[in-house]
Chain A
């Protein structure tokens, strides 16, 4: 053919449009995605929830200049300048702190949230859309309220270090790194400046430096700036409008959603004791087969008979899928109404939003949590897909329907799906 005419092109394009995968292939593909979404939901938070919680993490870290909410927000252990310690000392005398955080990402509208912190470990952030989040550090729980959808989620057993933000500030050692900047005037006030270096890294990469501006007279922070990237886009976060010692209404921190809101509860408040039965300890997971005595395809009652009562059971989605939470033993089992056991997920605390115990078992080829990429490849061969994102790696074995997630080259999560139907 020497040339294409539009008719020929359209004919070929339409032929492409008439191609259809087999219904079974589509069913398998959709089911696989459904499981992946449900699994992602178990181990990680939804985007909206992540966004809401990110406000906490970022605001807390930015506010303090040091933070221990998440690993990547840990301060550098190097020594600090006295001037910053004085600013922090000034914060000790406050019993509440409120501030505004504005996030500016290139090409997107600014996002503003208000943060309220009480000295007793209760925090609240309020978004401009009316949504808000309350966290109780002492009780490991978070309430996420979505005013647009009139929904609320109470997450129990939230995986937070026992840090009272207010007390944390009061007891900060004077050994954080802080580099003094030349003073300047900000909104007519003389301010002192510091650059605070934060150390550590995590799933979102290394934390950026903070620029802290403090009132030269009161030595309280008036503005904190952070530059960084969000999803590859350059941006900055500014925290200002600080008010110290303002009396805050206790109702703002009530763990009760507004009347008429749908409330969903996730996680368990306290982890049950590990099972005493030695048969149920250190289980072996075999791809395409099952975990310990439980095999893919078994029903929920069978799983419960063999493994005992789960910590919790949650119905997910609209297709009769339940997530059997054995988080106190380090695993979750997804059971589909039709297919039975469809997914086995072995987890570690570092990967989970809620508190769990690290999975203490191993795979049929001796892979345990903490294994390296090389260990996994030695055991199972080259993966069909290997992806890396920042410090995280993901190895997929299609034939085994096994997926390994590593962080800093240490295995933190293994997921196994039921065998695919034979085509």
Chain B
């Protein structure tokens, strides 16, 4: 007997790996990614809102992105992501610097509007085409291109002082 009244198990089979990777990218921590993946699905089960969503996949990813940035806002990650050895020759120092650069981008993205976060994540982290993003967000392709351009501009603005000014006292928390 197969029992999956909410369709959550099917969604987990279809998108679980992709969502785990997305959480790992947005948190830079696989342990947190695992926790957030569980939290996402349990939250969806509790709320019952997924059942009413027109586009369940879009709702799933939207909620996931929201959850990940909520986590980022709540705490700064400390342990770098353990990833596939894509570049085995890289030194530990370079990996640390790379990780720090990526953290900087993610922290800056936390300050964007939810819509701008969605657009950038779907476009550059999930590698979706503009048409696919448009479908997920219920917008036209033209609007999505515009949003993407605007979001990049805002991100650049947020990053500018952080990149150009020396770090002030205290830790970034």
Contacts and interface: CB of A to CB of B under 8 A. Distances in A.
Interface residues of A, number: 51
Interface stretch (A12-20, A243-251, A301-309, A373-381): A12-20
Interface stretch (A45-53, A91-99, A406-414): A45-53
B47 A47 contact: yes
Given A19-B83, A25-B20, A315 B2 contact: yes
Interface in A313-363: 314-318
Interface in B11-43: 12-13, 16-17, 20-21, 24-25, 28, 30-31, 33-35, 37-38, 41-42
A149 to B, nearest CB: 8
**Centre residue among B3, B25, B98, B126 by max chain A CB count within 10 A:** B3
A34 interface: yes
Contacts of B155: 4, 9
Interface stretch (A36-44, A71-79, A80-88, A276-284): A36-44
Given A1-B163, A28-B34, A6 B21 contact: no
Given A16-B102, A29-B37, A46 B20 contact: no
A385 interface: yes
Contacts of B31: 398
Nearest to B86: A18
A6 B124 CA distance: 12
Contacts of B38: 29, 32-33, 36
Contacts of A38: 9
A16 B45 contact: no
Contact of A40 (B45, B98, B101, B152): B45
Contacts, number: 160
Given A30-B12, A30-B16, A17 B124 contact: yes
A293 B8 CA distance: 33
B65 interface: no
Contacts of A398: 31
Interface residues of B, number: 56
A151 B5 CA distance: 9
A51 B5 CA distance: 12
Interface of B: 1-6, 8-9, 12-13, 16-17, 20-21, 24-25, 28, 30-31, 33-35, 37-38, 41-42, 44-51, 81-84, 86, 98, 101-102, 105-106, 120, 124-127, 152, 155-156, 159-160, 163-164
Interface of A: 1-6, 9-10, 12-22, 25-26, 28-30, 32-34, 36-38, 40-41, 46-51, 146, 151, 153, 231, 264, 314-318, 385, 398, 423
